[in-house]
């Protein structure tokens, strides 16, 4: 059943109100900055081919050796670095929600013992029945960190300008006084200040290895010459001295993201630019993330326009039939056919923008097959549409990677998503 149009006398108030809102949004989008649309894909690990033995894993306590000149005992600093490194690795793996990482209770016999004791002491008849956990995969990380904290003094020269003012009086009968700057008497002097500063420098090497449930090493990667530097005070911008957590984040966050992408299925997000040459209402809906509404509108719009072009093409062929029949040579006949094909292609060219925007709506909703079809139709309608051609290649690659994950993995991921909600 097709939705009622606002031109129909029987149109309902909600339909009218929706149309007014869409038109208002379309008008606002013209003067506002473009809002990017994002499409999300689930892609397989970049390195590890079989993740079935890594679904349950334990992150072993990292080994971090800290040296250099920094306040505090190296052993205490090592413990802080180890705890922070483990927490950040755990957070990045858990964020993808494909692997279950051990914590204080999960896959921890000591944690289970504490929970059982709490249940027994509660007097409410609770009991704990542990499930067979089986053996977990293991992640081992080790790092060497050189940490230096230096103090110094910056000499900062500041120019101070003294500009005197003189009193003058207006020429009216009231003789109103007012001040005028006396630039001729302006004085400039330089003041030198000694401002202390602190510089924290860190260099590190990191190695991460993964062992499967049978103890076999399935992955290992090293990162060398990681560095971080921060200056506080002196001629630097106002800031606080970095904590160990900040140092660890700046040294290891990027490598740990690479590690997770290497060993785990993960999400990738791509920004997609809406084609501004398409239907204005559909553009407003897409930018407002109303993808299903944009999909419905563009589908109906394109079906109507395709039907109209089909009729026009049939009429054009019928009108050109006498000319083709009267052609004196095969070359003349081919020229007429080429001219007709060019005219028909020219009529289809305006459809390219709407097909591209329909593909964007499909891509944003995760309908990669339809996105591929519509990007292809967009590129065919206008071979000069470079963004549609580039998007077609991108979706082919990403959809192919996502397809290799298999239905079971996607089902598991969807179940985890629902649990989160």
Residues forming beta bridges with residue 150, ordered by sequence position: 199
87 contacts 80 by C-beta, under 8 angstroms: no
Question: Among candidates 39, 23, 37, which has minimal Cα distance to 274?
Answer: 37
Dump pLDDT digits (tens) for 212-253. Answer: 999 999 999 999 999 999 999 999 988 999 999 999 999 999
Q: What gap in Å lies between CA 355 and CA 364, rounded to an integer?
A: 14
**pLDDT for position 16:** 34
Token digits of residue 153: 């003094």
pLDDT along the chain (421 residues), means of 10: 40 38 41 62 86 86 93 89 94 86 66 71 67 77 96 94 93 90 94 95 97 93 97 93 95 96 88 91 92 94 92 83 77 78 82 94 88 93 92 83 53 49 45
Alpha-carbon span 199 to 150, nearest angstrom: 5
Q: Domains in the chain, please, with CATH?
A: 52-115+134-147+204-264 (3.30.160.180), 152-193 (no CATH), 271-317+349-420 (1.25.40.10)
Residue pLDDT, tens place only, 351-363: 999 999 999 999 8
CA distances from 87 to 84, 96, 275, 372 (A): 5, 15, 42, 40
Gap between the Cα atoms of 98 and 374, Å rounded: 31
Kind and range of the H or E run holding 189: strand 187-211
pLDDT at position 314, please? Answer: 84
> What DSSP designation does 382 have?
-
- Taking only the tens place, the pLDDT of each residue in 361-377 is 998 888 888 999 999 99
145: nearest Cα among 195, 89, 85:
85
Coil, strand or helix at 49: coil
Task: Note the pTM of the prediction, 2 decimals.
Answer: 0.66
Residue found under tokens 């000319």: 323
Taking the C-alpha atoms of residue 189 and residue 40, their distance in angstroms, rounded to an integer, is 59
Classify each residue of 23-39 as buried b or exposed e, where b means 16 or more C-beta atoms within 10 Å of its C-beta. Answer: eebbeebeeeeeeebeb
pLDDT score for 320: 81
pLDDT digits (tens, 9 = 90+) for 117-135: 777 777 666 666 665 556 8
Strand duo 37-43 + 187-211: pairing: unpaired
């Amino acid at each position: 059943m097709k939705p009622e149009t606002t031109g129909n006398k029987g149109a309902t108030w909600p339909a009218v109100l929706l149309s007014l809102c869409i038109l208002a949004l379309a008008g606002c989008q013209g003067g506002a900055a473009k809002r990017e649309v994002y499409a999300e894909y689930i892609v397989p690990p970049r390195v590890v081919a079989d993740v079935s033995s890594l679904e349950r894993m334990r992150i072993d306590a990292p080994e971090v050796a800290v040296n250099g000149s920094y306040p505090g005992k190296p052993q205490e600093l090592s413990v802080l670095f180890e705890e922070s490194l483990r927490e950040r690795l755990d957070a990045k793996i858990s964020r993808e929600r494909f692997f279950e990482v051990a914590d204080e209770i999960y896959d921890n016999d000591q944690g289970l013992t504490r929970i059982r004791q709490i249940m027994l002491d509660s007097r409410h008849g609770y009991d704990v029945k542990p499930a067979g956990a089986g053996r977990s995969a293991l992640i081992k990380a080790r790092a060497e960190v050189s940490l230096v904290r230096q103090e110094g003094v910056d000499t900062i020269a500041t120019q101070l300008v003294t500009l005197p003012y003189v009193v003058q009086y207006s020429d009216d009968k009231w003789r109103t006084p007012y001040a005028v700057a006396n630039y001729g008497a302006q004085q400039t002097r330089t003041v030198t200040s000694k401002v202390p500063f602190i510089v924290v420098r860190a260099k590190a090497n990191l190695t991460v290895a993964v062992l499967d449930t049978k103890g076999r090493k399935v992955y290992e990667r090293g990162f060398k010459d990681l560095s971080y530097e921060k200056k506080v005070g002196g001629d630097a911008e106002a800031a606080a001295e970095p904590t160990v957590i900040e140092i660890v984040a700046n040294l290891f966050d990027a490598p740990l993201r690479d590690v997770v992408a290497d060993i785990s299925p993960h999400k990738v997000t791509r920004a997609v630019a809406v084609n501004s040459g398409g239907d204005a209402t559909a553009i407003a809906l897409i930018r407002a993330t109303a993808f299903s509404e944009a999909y419905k509108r563009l589908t109906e719009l394109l079906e109507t326009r395709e039907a109209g072009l089909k009729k026009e093409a049939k009429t054009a062929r019928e009108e050109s039939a006498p000319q083709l029949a009267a052609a004196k040579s095969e070359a003349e006949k081919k020229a007429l056919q080429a001219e007709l094909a060019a005219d028909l292609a020219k009529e289809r060219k305006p459809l390219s923008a709407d097909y591209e925007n329909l593909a964007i709506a499909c891509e944003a909703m995760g309908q990669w097959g339809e996105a591929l079809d519509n990007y292809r139709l967009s590129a065919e309608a206008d071979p000069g549409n470079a963004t549609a051609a580039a998007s077609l290649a991108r979706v082919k690659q990403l959809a192919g990677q996502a397809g290799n994950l298999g239905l079971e993995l996607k089902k598991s991921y969807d179940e985890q998503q629902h649990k989160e909600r």
